[in-house]
Amino acid sequence: MSSESGRRRVVVTGLGAVTPVGNDVPTFWQSLLAGKSGAGRLTAFDASDLEVQIGAEVKGFEPTQRLDVKLAKRTDRFTQFALWAADEAVRDAKLDFDKEDHDRVGVIVGSGMGGIQTWEAQFIQFLQKGPRRVSPLLVPMMIPDMACGQVAITYNLRGPNYDTTSACASGAHATGEAFRHILHGDADMMVAGGAEAAITKFTVAAFANMGALSKRNSEPDKASRPYDKDRDGFVMGEGAGIFVLEELEHARRRGAQIYCELAGYGATADAHHITAPDPDAKGAAAVMRQAITEAGLKPEDIDYINGHGTSTPLNDASEVKAIADVFGAHASKLAINSTKSMIGHGLGAAGAMEFVAMVLQLKHQKLHATVNHETPDAGVALDFVRGSARDCRIETALSNSFGFGGHNACLLVKALA
């Protein structure tokens, strides 16, 4: 057993990332510390006739540098991101799957939109050239579960395997459910995270028309400004965060490096509105309490929160209220930042990319800044890590993810004791 109480314990042993500020973990980390924004004018298509013309795109991504050419042609960009990041995570964990029981290793990768780039391209083909020209690969390239399916196929992993689709909470839910499978003995290792590649003309138009996106087209690098009084919407991002989660004693037996322990997970619903968060923030507060309680901690034990921090007026305000409700007087002592200030909002991949950022900050005992946070909302006196990165003692950390539909997820990590 992994503890005197007999409860299995889960640790993080490998990290992988594809992001708008770096296509590997070291580059991602250095970009965060430098306060580098990944936002810019959209390049994937002509956005000149759109109200919103900015996004946080992954740059310089060439899938065939790690993927077989045939596989690259048969996978959507979101699956390519997942496979790329999984390759890095597996190598970082120094895994040799030939030495593992493949029935005891699973894969869960969340995605909110799945292969929407493929869907959009093939629908145009359907309209312009007729039904016989629709690719027979459309369905296996489009469905959101294909990222976890392809990762499992690549490494012959036969444990629990599915995707989670809960909008912006998808990657966090995938991580939490993977944690549960190890905790309850269904698996000894899980490859988990989230992947998204939803920056298309169609989706940008849709999010813009519902008023969710920032219209700061003339200043893309200043458009994502979480918790700032002058925020006007989020910047759409893309990418993947994939990691190896492992039962503690299993990791120790193989001499694995251990980043930290994943000790708590919460999942709740607002049950309030299809897009707007509950202004009373009951679900957001409850999900943090769940994660803290599962870890056997109290609110005052938490040092740092990687906030959902989308840069939308309603979401940021609701999250701030939830933090105040959960932590009370301790809230002013917490460090809080938003990785989205630099990488934009990666939708279903957001929680996974932010989990990587949270783990790195705990490992290095250093916090990245919340870029563009200049003027707090009236009456809010929280520490949003403004200005530049700073050293900080971190033993425990939370990561919040809240999705359209009222889906809430929270992950708690702590230094391994």
pTM above 0.75, yes or no: yes
pLDDT of residue 1: 39
Element (H, E) at 306: strand 304-306
Contact 232, 314 (CB under 8 A): no
DSSP secondary structure letter of residue 168: B
DSSP secondary structure letter of residue 318: H
Residue partners of 202: CB distance under 8 A and separation at least 6: 116, 120
Whole-number Å distance between alpha carbons of 307 and 294: 19
Tokens coding 114: 């799945």
Whole-number Å distance between alpha carbons of 317 and 380: 9
Whole-number Å distance between alpha carbons of 262 and 180: 10
Give me the active site residues, please: 168, 308, 345
Amino acid (1-letter code) at residue 25: V
Helix, strand, coil content of the chain in percent (nearest 5): 40, 20, 40
Residue partners of 69: CB distance under 8 A and separation at least 6: none
Instruction: Give backbone dihedrals phi and psi of 88, rounded to 5 degrees, phi first.
Output: -65, -40
How crowded is residue 130: how many other Cβ atoms within 10 Å of its Cβ?
A: 9
Written as tens digits, the pLDDT of the chain (417 aa) is 344 567 899 999 999 999 999 999 999 999 999 999 999 999 999 999 999 999 999 999 999 999 999 999 999 999 999 999 999 999 999 999 999 999 999 999 999 999 999 999 999 999 999 999 999 999 999 999 999 999 999 999 999 999 999 999 999 999 999 999 999 999 999 999 999 999 999 999 999 999 999 999 999 999 999 999 999 999 999 999 999 999 999 999 999 999 999 999 999 999 999 999 999 999 999 999 999 999 999 999 999 999 999 999 999 999 999 999 999 999 999 999 999 999 999 999 999 999 999 999 999 999 999 999 999 999 999 999 999 999 999 999 999 999 999 999 999 999 998
The full set of domains in the chain, from first to last, is 10-253 (3.40.47.10), 265-414 (3.40.47.10)
DSSP secondary structure letter of residue 333: G
pLDDT of residue 6: 76
